[in-house]
Structure 1
């Protein structure tokens, strides 16, 4: 299974910290799976101009193709102005409308206060649904107070990250079994 972990911002440390912890847990619990961290701060991305994702080059092409090749995507996003950052929106704009068909997508969100917890429900999930993702219904919301010196210090958050990762992997496996069963109904 290919799992892409996307840190959807080019600034700040909290989302990257959360996504590094996500990668650590994935590699510890599921070493048999291929895990790649796509930290947008480490790539030079161009703005979407309407081309097909495979027509871009450099970092933009690499990030788009890595997401398109993944079986599961775990998106980490901070909350900027009660919405997702433009860097993450640009990723969605670079990809085709059916980019997440047959892909399982789960989310980790960081924010300064609890006032932003609905951003994921109202902003991110509709985009993912439009792009045909199998969305893991639960997500992990991490507040400012859950971090100290670039570490997650809230044990409940760490437990919820582990559970989200487990739910993501199990959902991919469940959908793969369903597709296999449906494919076996045909004689070709």
Structure 2
């Protein structure tokens, strides 16, 4: 089974680190799980222009094909202006409407304000549902106060939520 994590941030490293931690926790519950982290900082995903996928650059095609090949996904986003990142929204616009059908899709959000904890529910969840993804009951919100100076998550509650979400995702995916 393949679990692909997506970090939808172009600046900073906390979103990628939070997604990577979630992938590691999932692998801790299934050592045969193949995990891949797509950090969008490492790719030049073109802006959507309405063309077929093969008309876009190699990075865009490879990122979309990797997502389509996944059995499960963990989507990470920083919260900017009370919404998901623009680079992540652009990526979703490249994804076919039925792409997440039969896939469990977890959400991880990072933010500097605790007021943004519902953004995944109101901005990311509808997109995942539109793409026919199956959502676990849990998601993860990581506030800036949950990190230490070396960018390590120190909040035990956040780490427990990541682990619980990873376990739930594996249970659901195995039952689909």
TM range (shorter): over 0.9
CA distance in 1, matches of 2:75, 2:172: 16
What does 1:108-119 align with in structure 2 at a 5 Å threshold? 108-119=108-119
Is 1:142 the counterpart of 2:137? The answer is no
Tell me which stretches of 4 or more aligned residues in structure 1 moved more than 6 Å.
none
Partner deviation per Cα, 1:74-133 (whole Å, 9 max, x = no partner): 011110000000110011001111111111111011111210011111111111111111
Aligned length: 175
Partner deviation per Cα, 1:109-162 (whole Å, 9 max, x = no partner): 111121001111111111111111111121011101001121000111111111
CA distance in 2, matches of 1:65, 1:162: 27
Q: Which runs of 5+ in 2 are unaligned?
A: none
What does 1:159-170 align with in structure 2 at a 5 Å threshold? 159-170=160-171
Contact 1:52 1:96 in 2 (8 A): no
| Greater Rg by CA | 1
Q: Deviation of residue 27 (structure 1)?
A: 3.0
Normalised TM-score (structure 1): 0.88
Contact 2:102 2:134 in 1 (8 A): yes
Is 1:171 the counterpart of 2:172? The answer is yes
SS at match of 1:135: coil
What does 1:56-95 align with in structure 2 at a 5 Å threshold? 56-95=56-95
- What is the RMSD computed on CA atoms of the aligned residues? 1.2
Give the aligned partner of residue 152 of structure 1. Answer: 153
Normalised TM-score (structure 2): 0.94
CA distance in 1, matches of 2:45, 2:6: 14
CA distance in 2, matches of 1:57, 1:30: 34
SS at match of 2:63: helix
Q: Deviation of residue 54 (structure 1)?
A: 4.5
Q: Which runs of 5+ in 1 are unaligned?
A: 176-188
